[in-house]
Structure 1
Amino acid sequence: MKNNEIDIYGLAETNLSHRQSKIWQQQFGFHGYFDYSQQGGKGQGVGIIVSDKYDIFVHKAVGHKGRVLYLDLNFSQKKNVRLIQVYINANKKERAQIEELYQYIEGIIDEAKNKNMEIIIMGDFNINYRKYLMAFVSNRWYFKLFKMLENRHLLDTIPIFNEDDESIYTYIPPNDSKEKSRIDYIWASLPILGQSLNSTVMENDHSSTDHNTVTLSLDTQLFIGKSLPKINKSKKKITRTVFLYDEMDQEDDDEFTWDNFRAGLDYEIERLKLKDRSITKRKHIDHVWDSLRQLIMKSANENIKSKKIIKNKFKVAPEKKLSVYYDLRYIINRIQEIRSCITGLRNYPNQEMINKWINYQDVIVKLKDKYELVTSDTIYTFLDNAQFHSYLDELNEIRKQLRIVFKLELNIMEQEQIISNIKKRCDNYKDDQGRMIQSITEKEMVSISIEKIYKKDHNGNEVLITDENQ
C-alpha cells in the first residue's frame, strides 16, 4: 500500500477468521476491518485496510455473512461516504445465497442514499458487465446487481477513465483455455466521480492471486471538506473531430483507404459475431445498432483521416439543449393563450379561432406521440366555451407529464456532462498537465514577465536595464 500510495484497500476471499485477522494487523501494523462467517467454509471472507490518515474518519463497520462489509466514513456534516466491499459467490448454483446478498446490498445502498451519503462499492462481483451490456441477457437473474446499481445512478469507473476498457481484465485464469474477464469493479456515485482523477487496473506483485487490483484515485479535498476557490469562468475553447472523406484513396500506398475502413469494420463485426445475434424484440435492434455504431466509429477513427477543429464555446443554459425544453415551453404558451381565450370568450368562438386551435391540437397530438404521453383521446371541435375549458385540463395534464420527462432528461444530461468533464481531466493528465492541475485546484496559473527594471549604479544614478542576460 505504501509503495503504491494506497490509503484504502479492499480484500475479497480472505478466508481469515476474526482471530487470524487480529494477528495480521499486529504483524503488519495496519488498521483493518474484516468479516468472516464460520458457517461459510472456504472461499469467503472480506476485509478493508485503512491507512492512519483515514482511519480516524471511520464511524461504523458492519459485516454480513463473510460476503459484504461496509464502512461509514464521516468527514463532515455534509460529506459522508459509505464504502462497501463485496465478494459475490462464483457458483451460480448458489442462487438463493446470491440473491439474498443482492437484496442486502440494495438495502444498505438505499439506506446510505436516504442519509445523503456518497457511495463506493467495490470487490469481486463474479459477473461480467460487458456481457450484461452487449449480449442481450440483461434479464438473467445474476445480472440484477448491475441493473440495481444503474438505477441508483452509480457508475463503473473503468470505462470512464479508459478508452480501451474492452481489453482490460481483472481475472487472469491460470489455465489458458479459460477466458480472461473483468469481474472485479469499483462503482461510485456521481459526486465521487466528479472528484476522481483516474481509475485503472494494476498487477498484484506482492501476493499470489489470479486477480488484478482495480484502483480509483480521488481528490482528497472531497474528503477533508476544505472549500475550493470559485471556478475560473473564463471562456475556453473546445474541439471536435472532422473526418476528411475527400482525402481518402489519394495514393496507392496510403493507409487511409475505404478498403481499409471496410476491412476494419468487417473484422470488428466478425469478432463480436454481430451477424449471429438473435433479434426477436425491438430492444434487440437497438442493441445491435448501438454496437454497429460503435464499431463504425472505431473503424473510422483508425482508417479515415481526420483533424481537430477548435470552436468557441458559448454558454447556454443546460435545459435549453434539450428538445423537450422547447416542447414544454410550447405547451405552457398554449396554456397561457387558451386562458386568455376563455377570459375573452363571451358566447361562441369565431371560425378563425376555431381553425387556429384545431391546428394547435394537431401539433400537440404529434407531440404526445413523440413522448408517448398518456392523456385523453378526445378530439375537440372548439365550438363553445366548454370545449376550451376541457382542453385546458388536457393541456395541464400534458404539461405535468412533460415536466417529468424534462427533469429525467436533464438529469441524464448532467450525468453525461460529469462523465465528459472527468474524461477531459484524464486527457489533460496525459497531454496538458498544466490544465489538469488548473482544473483540480480550480486556480488560474499565472506567470509574470519582467521586460525592464531600474537599478542604481555605483554613482547612485538610476540606470534602465532591458538586457535579459543582466
Structure 2
Amino acid sequence: MMNNKKTHSFKKKHYNNPSPVNQKSRSNLNNQQIYRPKTRQRLNLSDIIKIASLNIKGITDVKKQFLIDILGEYNITILGLSETNISNKMAKHSFNFYRNNYVTYFANEETNYRGNGVGLIIKKNYARHIVNYNSFKGRIIYVDFIFSGNKKMRIINYYGKSGRVTLDNFNQEVKIYFDKIKELVRESKAQNAEIILLGDFNLHYEKYLDDKNNNRKMKKEHKLFEWIEDEQNFYDPFYIMFDNLSQHSLNTFYPFNTNQNPSRIDYIWVTENLFSETQECKIVNTTTINTDHRMLVYSIWSEDLIGNIANIKRKEGFKEVYKYDKMDGEQWELFQNDLNKYISNSEILKFNFNDKNNINHIWDKIKKGLVQASKNCIPIEKIKLTKSRVNPMKISNAYKVMKFLINFRRSIKDSRKRNHVIRNWITYRKKLLEIGREKSDYCWNKIPKDDKSVKEIFEEIKNLYQIYLILYNHDLLQFKEEKIKLAIDQRCEDLLENQKRSTNQPKILSEYWAKFYFPQDEINDKIYKDLMVEPTNDELNEALNKLSNNKASGPTGISNEMLKHTSPEFKEIIRKLIILIFNNQEIPLEWKYANIYPIPKPKPWGCQLVNTRPITLLETARKLMVSIMNARLSTILQKNKILKGLQFAGLPFSSTFEPLRIINEIIQDANENDKELWILSLDMSKATEK
C-alpha cells in the first residue's frame, strides 16, 4: 500500500483545475473563488443542492435580514451556522417571519451561550424529508434525511473550540466533540447514509498536512483530519478543486485585526458518492454581514443520489405507443380485415346517413372500430413517463473516461477491491490501452500488486486524467457557447411574443384601415358554391395521402396512420360522415374537444399560462375534413385570381420566387441609393394562438 503522503498528493492533484480563477486582492469586497466542473442542459432548482457554511459571529436582528437576503441570492438549500451566540429560547423565534420557505434548527448551551451555538437553516421541501435531528453540548447539531428509494443523508454541523489547545484541556474541550463526530459518522455509515460534515473547526488543515508529509509528530487535535481523510475516506472538495490556486485563495478566516494573518479553518467534508456529483465550489465574502469569516457554498447534482425533490409527490404513469414501424403490408391487411369485420358486426351501415341527429352516433361507431382494430393488430409498447433530464456533459466521452479513471483509482487504492482488479487485469488493461491510445505510450504491463506498481499506475492515471480533463473543459466551453446563443435567440422570440399580448383587447380601426376589411364587391360569392359539395373518393384519398406520419393524435388517440390504412369500405363510411357534416354544417361533439399541452418557456413557470407555449392537438378526423375544404378553397382562390397585386400565398401552381425577387430588388435599391428601409414580417401561424 502506498504511503499516505503520496496518496493525498495524488488525490489532491488528480482533480486539479486547469483554468483556475485568479486570486483577487483582499480589498475587493466582492471577491469570490469559484470552481465549476460540470454543467447541465436544463437547470432545475430541484436538480441542485447548495450546502453552505458560515461563522456568523452572533445572530442579531440586522444580520437576520441580511442572512435571508443571502439565502435567496445564492439559492441555498441548507446553511450551517456557527457561533450563533443566542440562547435556545431566543432561537425558537429568530426566523419566524421567514418560515414559509425555510425550517430552522438551533442548539446552544443553556447557561453560557456566548461564544457557542450552532444552527441549520433548511429549505422546506427538503426539511419534510428529515426523520431525526439532535445536538450535542451546543457545538454539534445534525439532521438525518430519508429520500425516496430509502436513500439516506446525514448533515453534521460542528463549531470547534477556538484558542490554544493544551494537554490539560484537550480531553474536556476537544476530544469529547471528536468522539461524538466519530460516533455520528460510524452510525451513518452503518446505515449506508451519505454524510456532509461542515462547520468552523478552528483547526488548520495545512499545518496538519505539513506535519504529516514531513513525518513530524502530529498534534492531537489534528488527528481528526487524519481520521476523516484516511480512515473514513472523506473528500475535501474545496482543497481538491482549488489545487492550482495559491493557498491564500482557500482562506476562510480574515481577522478583524489586520496584524493577524488570514487562514483556513472552515470546511465542508463529504463522502465519496457526494464528491463525485460536485457541481460547484464557491467561497463568498458576505460583505453585508459583520463577520470575519467567508461563507463556503458547495453545490452538488442531486438526481443520481436522492432524486428530484418535488413539492408535490406525483405518481409515475405510463402511456401506450403504437409501433407503426413494425407494421408491414400483411399486417395492415389484417388491420383492414378487422375493420371490415367490425362493420359487419356493429350494424353501422343501418344508420340513416342523411339525418343530422346521427352525426354523433356514426362518429362514435367509427371511433370504436378504429381503436378496437388498432389494439388488435398494431404492436403496442408501454413507455414509463418520467421527468428525468439528461446532462449532456455526463454522456460525453471525456466525462465517461474521467469517471472510469476515478473508479479505477479507488479500486486499486482499496486492498479489498484490488484483488478484483488483479483477477480481471486483462479486461482492465484493454480498457486502459484504449483510453490511452494516441495520448500515452504507457503499456500497462505492471499489475497493481505492490506499493511500487500502484504508485506508478497512479502517476499514469493522473496524466491521463489531466488530458481528458482538458478535453472535457473544451467540450464544456462549446456547450456553454451554444446554450448562450440559444438563450439569446429564445429571449428575442419571447420579447416579441410578450409584445403581442398588448393586442388582447378590442381596437378601433381608423377609416383608412377599416376599408380593407369590408367585403370586396368585385368578388362573386358564387365562386364558393362548390366548396361544400359531397367530397369524391379521389378527394378523400388525396387528403389521406397528404396526412403526415408520426404526428401526435387528438383526444381519442386515433392517428393519421390509422386513417391512412383503413379499408375501402371503412373509408366510404368516413366519406359519408363528412358529407353529412357538409350538408348540415355541424360536426360531432367530440371534434370540439382538444388536448392542450402548455410547453414551458425557458423562464420560471410561476403558475402563469403566459409563461408557456400552448399546443393544441385536434381530432385527426376533423383535420382530415378541414384539409379537404382547404384544398378546395386554394383551388377556388387560384382559379378566380382572388389574391391580386402584392398579395402572395402558397396556392396551387404559385411560387414564392416572385415576392422574394421583389423584396430583394427593394433591398438592393435601398443599399445603392442610401435609403432608409423598414421591412415588416408577420408570421401568421402565431395568430391562431391568441
TM-score, normalization by structure 2: 0.38
Q: Tell me the residue number matched to 1:398.
A: none
| Cα deviation digits, residues 42-69 of structure 1 (max 9, x gap) | 2111000112232212221110001110
Pairing partner for 1:84 from 156, 179, 182: 156
- CA–CA separation in structure 1 for the residues paired with 2:193 and 2:471: 25
Shift of 1:138: 6.4
CA distance in 2 between counterparts of 1:215 and 1:117 reads: 21
- Does the Cα contact within 8 Å between 2:202 and 2:266 map onto a contact in 1? yes
Stretch of structure 1 that moved more, 76-85 or 6-15: 76-85
Q: Does residue 185 of structure 2 align to residue 106 of structure 1?
A: no
CA distance in 1, matches of 2:182, 2:482: 36
Aligned to 1:214: 296
1:250-265 alignment runs, 5 A limit: none
Distance 1:101 1:209 in 2: 24
**Cα pair distance change 1:104/1:237, threshold 3 Å:** closer
CA distance 1:229–1:68, change in 2 (3 Å): same
Specify the alignment match of 1:95 in structure 2.
170
2:261 matches 1:179: yes
Aligned to 1:4: 74
Does the alignment pair 1:121 with 2:200? no
CA deviation map 1:412-450 (0-9, x unaligned): 99x989x9899779956984453998xxxxxxxxxxxxx
| Residue number in structure 2 paired with 1:59 | 131
**How far is the alpha carbon of 1:173 from its aligned partner?**
0.7
Q: Aligned pair in 2 of structure 1 residues 64, 432: CA closer, same or farther (>3 Å)? A: farther
- Residues 43 and 193 of structure 1, relative CA distance in 2, 3 Å threshold: same
One-letter amino acid of the counterpart of residue 245, structure 2: D
**Is 1:25 aligned to residue 25 of structure 2?**
no
Is the 1:132–1:138 contact (alpha carbons within 8 Å) kept by the matching residues of 2? no
Q: Name the amino acid aligned to 1:13.
A: E
- CA distance change for structure 1 residues 372 and 167 in 2, over 3 Å: closer, same or farther? closer
The percentage of aligned residue pairs carrying the same residue is 23
Q: Deviations over 1:202-235 (max 9, x none)?
A: 0122321111101101224246515665988977
Aligned to 1:461: 653
Matched, 1:191 2:191: no
Selected match of 1:167 from 245, 248, 253? 248
The CA deviation at 1:141 is 0.5
The alpha-carbon deviation at position 125 of structure 1 amounts to 0.7
Question: Is 2:227 the counterpart of 1:148?
Answer: yes
Contact 2:650 2:656 in 1 (8 A): no
Change (3 A) 1:316 1:18: closer
In the other structure, the counterpart of 2:206 is 130
Shift of 1:325: 7.8
Distance 2:301 2:451 in 1: 42
Q: CA deviation at 1:113?
A: 0.8
- Structure 2 matches for 1:405-420, cutoff 5 A? none
Q: Give how far 1:145 is off.
A: 1.2
State the alpha-carbon separation in 1 of the partners of residues 144 and 87 from structure 2. 22
**8 A contact 2:199–2:268 mirrored in 1:** yes
Output the amino acid matched with 2:480: G
Contact in 1 for aligned 2:158/2:198 (Cα 8 Å)? yes
* Paired residues of 2:86 and 2:114 also in contact (CA < 8 A): no
Aligned partner letter, 1:35: A
Report matched runs for 1:234-249 at 5 Å.
236=397
* TM-score w.r.t. length of structure 1: 0.55
Deviates more, 1:213-222 or 1:143-152: 213-222
Secondary structure of 2:149 counterpart: coil
- 1:142 and 1:409 mapped to 2: Cα distance? 33
Deviation at 1:161, TM superposition (A): 2.7
Q: How many residues align?
A: 311
The structural deviation recorded for 1:167 is 2.0
The one-letter amino acid of 1:157's match is P
Q: Do the aligned partners of residues 170 and 422 (structure 1) sit closer, same or farther apart at CA in structure 2, a change above 3 Å counting?
A: farther
Q: Which residue of 2 aligns with 1:47?
A: 119
Alpha-carbon distance, 1:79 to partner:
2.1
d(CA) in 1 for partners of 2:467, 2:133: 33
**Amino acid of the residue matched to residue 192 of structure 1?**
L
> Matched residues in 1 for 2:406 and 2:284: separation?
40
Separation (CA, whole Å) in 1 of partners of 2:224 and 2:393: 40
Instruction: Report which stretch shifted further, 35-44 or 186-195.
Output: 35-44
Offset at residue 165 of structure 1 (A): 5.5
2:307 is matched with which residue? 225
2:175, 2:654 → 1: CA distance? 84
Opposite residue 235 of structure 2, the aligned amino acid is L
Q: CA RMSD in A?
A: 4.8
Query: What is the one-letter code of the residue matched to 2:89?
Result: R
Contact residue 428 and residue 436 of structure 1 kept, 8 A: no
Q: Give the AA of the match of 2:218.
A: N
Q: Is the 8 A contact 1:161 1:198 kept in 2?
A: no
Letter in 1 for 2:265: I
Indicate the structure (1 or 2) with the bigger Cα radius of gyration.
2
Query: Structure 1 residues 327, 69: CA separation in 2 closer, same or farther (over 3 Å shift)?
Result: closer
CA–CA distance in structure 2, aligned partners of residues 422 and 64 of structure 1: 45
Which amino acid counterpart does residue 191 of structure 1 have in structure 2? N
Deviation at 1:22, TM superposition (A): 1.1
Which residue does the alignment assign to 1:337? none
Distance 1:195 1:42, change over 3 A: same
Amino acid at match of 2:241: F
**1:434 counterpart = 2:480:** yes
Change (3 A) 1:41 1:75: same
Query: What CA distance in whole angstroms lies between the structure 2 residues aligned with 1:197 and 1:327?
Result: 29
Higher RCO (CA < 8 A, seq sep 6+): 2
Partner SS state of residue 77, structure 1? helix
Report how far residue 459 of structure 1 moved.
4.4
What secondary structure does 1:155 align onto? Answer: coil
Q: Which runs of 5+ in 1 are unaligned?
A: 239-311, 333-366, 374-404, 438-455
2:226 counterpart letter in structure 1:
K
What's the secondary structure of 1:148's corresponding residue? Answer: helix
Cα deviation digits, residues 337-364 of structure 1 (max 9, x gap): xxxxxxxxxxxxxxxxxxxxxxxxxxxx
Distance 2:482 2:193 in 1: 27
- Give, in whole Å, the separation in 1 of the partners of 2:227 and 2:115: 25
